[in-house]
Chains A and B, each alone.
Chain A
Amino acid sequence: MRALTYQGPFKVRVENKPDPRLEHPQDVILKVTRTAICGSDLHLLHGLVPDTRVGHTFGHEFTGVVEELGSEVTQLRKGDRVVVPFNISCGTCFYCQRGLTASCENSNPSSDVACGVYGYSHTTGGYDGGQAEYVRVPFADVGPLKIPDGMEDEEALFLGDILPTGYMGAEMGEIKGGETVVVFGAGPVGLFAMRSAWLMGAGRVIAVDCVQYRLDFAERYAKVETVNFREVDDIVLYLKDLFDGRGPDVCIDAVGMEAEGSVGQRVLGLGLKLEAGAPTVLTWCIDTVRKGGNVSIVGVYGPPWNLMPIGTAMNKGLTLRMNQCNVRRYMTHLLQHIREGRIDAKGIITHRFSLEDAPKAYHLFAQKQDGCVKCVLTPGHA
Chain B
Amino acid sequence: MPDRPIPGAAADLEPSSRPGVPMERAPQPMAGARMPIRPQHSDVRVFKHKGRAGFPPVFGTAQPPRGLSGLLRKVAYGYPDHWARHWMILLLADRVDVWEHRLARAAPWAVPTAGVLALTGVAWRKWARA
Contact = CB atoms under 8 A, between A and B. Distances in A.
A258 interface: no
A58 to B, nearest CB: 11
9 contacts: A8-B98, A25-B38, A54-B101, A55-B62, A107-B59, A109-B47, A116-B60, A123-B90, A198-B8
A342 B10 CA distance: 11
Interface string A304-324: 110000000000000000010
Contact of A97 (B1, B30, B81): B30
Majority secondary structure of chain A interface residues (helix, strand, loop or mixed): loop
B8 A201 contact: no
Given A108-B59, A125-B60, A223-B5, A200 B18 contact: yes
B58 interface: yes
A262 interface: no
Given A52-B94, A98-B24, A122-B60, A199 B11 contact: yes
A88 B37 CA distance: 14
Contact of A198 (B9, B21, B76): B9
A47 interface: yes
Contacts of A177: 1, 10, 13
Most central of B2, B13, B20, B40 by chain A CB within 10 Å: B20
Most central of A100, A126, A302 by chain B CB within 10 Å: A126
B112 interface: no
B122 to A, nearest CB: 35
A101 B58 CA distance: 15
Nearest to B9: A198
Interface of A: 7-9, 23-26, 47, 50-57, 72, 74-75, 88-92, 94, 96-101, 105-113, 116, 122-123, 125-128, 138-139, 141-142, 168, 171-172, 176-178, 195-196, 198-201, 203-204, 222-223, 273, 276, 302-305, 323, 326, 328-330, 332-333, 337, 340-343
A342 B7 contact: yes
Nearest to B90: A50
B115 interface: no
Contact of B10 (A106, A109, A200): A200
Given A105-B56, A112-B52, A342-B11, A127 B87 contact: no
Interface in B39-54: 40, 42, 46-49, 51-52
A113 B52 CA distance: 11
Contacts of A342: 7-8, 11
Given A90-B37, A98-B27, A126 B9 contact: no
Contacts of A110: 47-49, 77, 81
B20 A329 contact: yes
A54 B11 CA distance: 45
B32 A107 contact: no
B30 A91 contact: yes
A96 B8 contact: no
A322 B17 CA distance: 20
B59 A126 contact: yes
B130 interface: no
B111 interface: no
Given A53-B63, A53-B94, A126-B46, A106 B20 contact: no
Nearest to B33: A91
B12 A199 contact: yes
Nearest to B98: A8
B55 to A, nearest CB: 6
A162 to B, nearest CB: 16
Given A123-B90, A171-B18, A177-B10, 15 more contacts: A53-B69, A54-B63, A90-B58, A91-B31, A92-B37, A99-B23, A125-B60, A127-B60, A198-B10, A199-B8, A200-B10, A223-B6, A304-B84, A304-B87, A337-B8
